């Protein structure tokens, strides 16, 4: 990683911020004067649309921002950050608002939420195939926009309503990631508002340390108002596959464990697996166990070379799907909607849930013992609705794992699997915690981590820092935080320096 000295060498001088002023509840009027004097568009708690704008995706964790800023320009964001810093108000940006922990609402009452919803620009430069994207754009609109403008594609998640901001700056996995890399890996530039209100255009050569830090920890270092993303030529056709066992694997521990062990062996078999294939396992312990994914190749190649090895030794699936789709048809299929286009305003999708994640190092994988303990645990059952998704990150040719922390401030570059354990409503919290514990406890020699975009609010800051970043990377980020945001303007309960 470039030394933080290089940040200063490229022209950034961390200006001293005014020390924290009155408590938030006493500062609102003065903050209001500051914002109004700069003509910053705002919504306060008595505004008619405040409740709708403040409602988080995860309704289990509602917070009340002291003010919601709806910026129309970079200058609006700069002015809002300066006002917040002057009066001791913490700041967080909201792109799509899908933070599992409601950190885009501040992670506490009384923060300033800078809602980037008005920043919806998508402009593809056809000479470079770099697209400039506003910080409020949702993934479905991004995908449709770059397809319409130049038949281009990007690597990102499957939920079209997720905002670009947190998704791209904290990883961003999708079923194209093993072939193209994470969403984060496509950022080639970013317009970033820093804690002193400065706007910088951060790239690998300009403000390189800020560029490094926002790709992995943007919530702690600034607000990205515009992204510059390197696109790919979208494939003319792409193969989707799905093997569905239903409840067939739940009746036998041996079948359950051996099925996964075979899939794990397959995933690391370079004679059949390269970067073009990606897949995940979905199960809920009740009525579903399926494996589905994407192949950057033809149906014929998949059926003749890959499918036989996939299914060798496994119980026969109840349903097998192998089908070719055009690019937008494929994205629509994975979205589980009729269209990937999302409304520019009035987005109104919510859930009530608790989720955790586990990143599994490729050198270890999941052991027979851990899989057996996992099976025993889910067979006990729960009254709460839940599901588990186990996505392949590593394996031969993975473009996720061919980079390290010198490229970006993102640590998860050695995982074979990433598990998302997701439970509906607060009733699932104990069960989901236990699901993590039983896997980790059964494999004590493995140093498991967690995935940033499945942020878990139950972790204290120190635990979160260790799981998401690791000690060495976190130390570098903490040092940089002290230089560029010494007053912790950009804050949530797990922010760098918290």
Q: What CATH code is assigned to 5-117+479-484?
A: 3.30.465.10
Neighbours of 172 (CB within 10 A): 26
pLDDT value of residue 286:
83
Residue 238: per-residue pLDDT: 98
- The dihedral through the CA atoms of 365, 370, 375, 380 has a sign that is negative
pLDDT at 271 over 50: yes
The pLDDT, as a whole number, for residue 10 is 41
Task: Give the tens place of pLDDT for each residue, 365-419.
Answer: 999 999 999 999 999 999 999 999 999 999 999 999 999 999 999 999 999 999 9
Is the pLDDT at 20 greater than 80? The verdict is no
Q: How far is CA 329 from its chain centroid?
A: 23
pLDDT at position 426:
87
Partners of 280 in the beta sheet? 292, 391
Is the domain spanning 122-233 CATH 3.30.465.10? The answer is yes
The proportion of the chain whose per-residue pLDDT surpasses 70, expressed as a percent, equals: 94
Question: Measured between alpha carbons, how far is residue 163 from residues 104, 170, 296 in Å?
Answer: 11, 12, 26
Alpha carbon distance 116, 73 (integer Å): 10
Question: pLDDT tens for residues 437-460?
Answer: 999 999 999 999 999 999 999 999
Domain spans, the chain: 5-117+479-484, 122-233, 237-325+352-454
Tell me if domain 5-117+479-484 and domain 122-233 are identical in fold.
Answer: yes
Average pLDDT, the chain: 94
pLDDT tens for each residue of 294-343: 999 999 999 999 999 999 999 999 999 999 999 999 999 999 999 999 99
Q: Which CATH number fits domain 237-325+352-454: 2.60.120.260, 3.40.50.2300, 3.40.462.20, 3.40.50.300?
A: 3.40.462.20
On the question of pLDDT at 137 being above 70, the answer is yes
Question: What was the pLDDT predicted at 24?
Answer: 40
For residue 91, what pLDDT band results from cuts at 50, 70 and 90? very high
Work out the percent of the chain whose per-residue pLDDT is above 90: 93
């Amino acid at each position: 990683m470039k030394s933080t000295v290089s940040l200063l060498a490229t022209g950034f001088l961390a200006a001293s911020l005014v020390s924290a002023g009155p408590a938030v509840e006493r500062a609102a009027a003065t903050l209001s004067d500051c914002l109004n004097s700069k003509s910053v568009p705002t919504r306060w708690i008595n505004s008619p649309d405040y409740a709708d704008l403040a409602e988080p995706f995860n309704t289990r964790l509602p917070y009340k921002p002291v003010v919601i800023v709806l910026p129309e320009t970079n200058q609006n964001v700069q002015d809002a950050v300066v006002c917040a810093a002057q009066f001791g108000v913490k700041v967080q940006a909201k792109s799509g608002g899908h933070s599992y922990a409601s950190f885009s609402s501040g992670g506490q009452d009384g923060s300033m939420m800078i809602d980037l919803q008005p920043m919806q620009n998508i402009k593809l430069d056809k000479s470079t195939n770099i697209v400039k994207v506003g910080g409020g754009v949702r993934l479905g609109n991004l995908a449709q926009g770059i397809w319409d403008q130049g038949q281009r594609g990007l690597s990102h998640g499957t939920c079209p309503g997720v905002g670009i901001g947190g998704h791209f700056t904290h990883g961003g996995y999708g079923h194209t990631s093993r072939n193209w890399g994470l969403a984060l890996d496509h950022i080639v530039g970013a317009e970033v508002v820093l804690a002193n209100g400065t706007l910088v255009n951060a790239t690998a050569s300009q403000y390189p340390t800020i560029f490094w830090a926002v790709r992995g920890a943007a919530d702690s270092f600034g607000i990205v108002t515009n992204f510059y993303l390197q696109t790919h030529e979208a494939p003319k056709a792409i193969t989707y596959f799905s093997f569905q066992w239903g409840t067939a694997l739940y009746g036998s521990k041996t079948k359950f464990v051996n099925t996964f062990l075979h899939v794990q062996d397959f995933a690391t078999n370079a004679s059949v697996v390269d970067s073009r294939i990606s897949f995940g396992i979905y199960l809920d312990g009740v009525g579903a166990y399926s494996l589905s994914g994407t192949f950057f190749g033809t149906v014929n190649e998949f059926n003749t070379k890959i499918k036989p090895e996939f299914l060798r030794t496994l119980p026969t699936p109840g349903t097998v799907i192998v089908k070719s789709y055009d690019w937008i048809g494929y994205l629509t299929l994975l979205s589980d909607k009729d269209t990937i286009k999302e409304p520019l305003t009035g987005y109104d999708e919510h859930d009530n849930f608790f989720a955790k994640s586990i990143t599994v190092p490729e050198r270890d994988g999941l052991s027979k013992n851990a899989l057996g303990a996992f099976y025993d645990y889910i067979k006990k059952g729960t009254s709460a609705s839940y599901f588990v998704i186990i996505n392949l990150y590593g394996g031969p040719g993975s473009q996720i794992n061919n980079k390290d922390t010198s490229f970006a401030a993102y640590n998860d570059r050695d995982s074979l699997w990433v598990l998302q354990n997701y439970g509906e409503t607060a009733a699932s919290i104990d069960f989901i915690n236990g699901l993590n514990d039983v896997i980790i406890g059964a494999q004590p020699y493995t140093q498991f981590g967690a995935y940033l975009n499945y942020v878990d609010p139950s972790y204290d800051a120190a635990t979160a820092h260790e799981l998401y970043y690791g000690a060495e990377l976190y130390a570098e980020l903490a040092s940089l935080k002290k230089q560029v945001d010494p007053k912790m303007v950009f804050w949530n309960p797990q922010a760098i320096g918290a």
